[in-house]
C-alpha cells in the first residue's frame, strides 16, 4: 500500500497492489465438457458452506470477543501446504483442521498410494515437526481410500 502526499493538507491516495482475487471466482469449478471428475467438496460452491458443506477449519477465534483469527488463518495455510507437500500426491480431498483447546487435529483422507508403514513414518514425522513448530500437541487422524471419491463429472 503506497501513499503519496500531494499537498501538505494531507491528501492521500492508496494503491492496492495484491493479485486480483475475484470473490465470484474463488473455489468454484466451472461446468465443462463432462470429463473432469470433481469431489463433493469441490462440486459445491462457497455459498453452500453451512448448508451442504461443512467447514474445513474449525476454531473459536471467530466468535464474539475472541481474538487470534488472523494467526489461525496463517497457521492453517501453512499446515495445508505442509500436508500437500509431505504427502505428495496422496491427498484425496482437502485437509480438515480442528482445534480443541490446545490440541491441533489434522484430519486427512489419503489415497492408498504408499505402503502403510510409510504412511506411519510420515505421520510420526509430521506430528513431531508441527508440534515443535507450533508449540502445541498435533494429532493426525488419517483415513485411506482406494481412489479419489468422485461426486460427479463436470
Partner 1 sequence: MHITLTSFSSAQKLFSLSQESGKNAAKYFINTYPKYFQKDYAQPHIPCLMPETLEAQIEEVSEAALIERIHMRKVEAAVDLYDQLQQAGTPVSLDVTNQLLDLICFYGDSDPAQENVPKQRKNTLSYHKRTPCLVFSFRENNNAERIFALLSEPNTHSYSALIRGMVKYCAYSKAFSTYTDLLNNRLKADVNTFNALITAAPEVKEKYNEKWELIVDLLKEMAEQKVKPNLLTLNAVLKALRHCGTLGKSQAFPVISEMKALSIGPLKTHSHAFPIMLCSAGCCFMVTHFRMARDPVYHLYLQCLDTKDIEQAYRVHELLGVGENWRLLGKDLQQNIYYARFFSLLCMMENIDVMLKWYRDLVPSVYYPSSNIMRDLLQALDTDNRLDLIPQIWKDIKQLGHANRQKLVEDLLTLMAREKQNQEESFAECALDIKKMYDTGDRGKVIMSWTATSLSDIISVLLAAQRRQDAWEILKLFKTHNRVPSEELLNKFLMCIMESGEVNHAVELVQISAGFCLPETPKLIQRVQQEFQLSEQQK
Residues 6+ positions from 43 with CB-CB distance below 8 Å: 29, 151, 152, 154
CB nearer to partner 1: give 43 or 138: 138
For partner 1, which residue of 53, 131, 142, 154 counts as binding (CB under 8 A)? 131
Residues 6+ positions from 129 with CB-CB distance below 8 Å: none
CA distances to 29, 96, 103, 110 from 129, rounded to whole Å, are 34, 18, 14, 20
CB of 152 to partner 1, least distance (A): 27
Site membership for partner 1, residue 116 (CB under 8 A): yes
Site membership for partner 1, residue 129 (CB under 8 A): yes
CB nearer to partner 1: give 63 or 115: 115
Q: 3-state DSSP call for residue 109? A: strand
For partner 1, which residue of 132, 143, 152, 153 counts as binding (CB under 8 A)? 132
Cell 477449519, residue? 57
For partner 1, which residue of 40, 55, 78, 125 counts as binding (CB under 8 A)? 125
Give contact residues for partner 1 (rule: CB under 8 A): 112-113, 115-118, 120-129, 131-136
Amino acid at each position: 500500500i503506497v501513499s503519496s502526499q500531494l499537498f501538505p493538507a494531507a491528501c492521500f491516495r492508496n494503491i492496492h497492489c495484491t493479485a486480483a482475487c475475484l470473490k465470484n471466482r474463488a473455489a468454484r469449478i466451472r461446468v465443462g465438457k463432462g470429463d473432469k471428475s470433481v469431489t463433493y467438496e469441490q462440486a459445491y460452491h462457497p455459498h453452500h458452506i453451512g448448508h451442504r458443506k461443512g467447514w474445513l477449519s474449525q476454531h473459536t477465534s471467530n466468535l464474539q470477543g475472541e481474538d487470534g483469527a488472523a494467526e489461525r488463518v496463517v497457521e492453517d495455510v501453512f499446515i495445508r501446504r505442509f500436508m500437500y507437500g509431505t504427502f505428495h500426491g496422496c491427498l484425496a480431498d482437502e485437509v480438515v483442521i480442528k482445534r480443541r483447546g490446545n490440541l491441533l487435529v489434522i484430519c486427512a483422507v489419503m489415497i492408498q498410494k504408499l505402503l502403510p508403514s510409510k504412511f506411519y513414518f510420515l505421520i510420526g514425522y509430521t506430528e513431531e515437526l508441527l508440534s515443535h513448530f507450533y508449540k502445541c500437541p498435533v494429532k493426525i487422524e488419517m483415513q485411506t481410500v482406494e481412489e479419489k471419491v468422485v461426486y460427479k463429472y463436470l
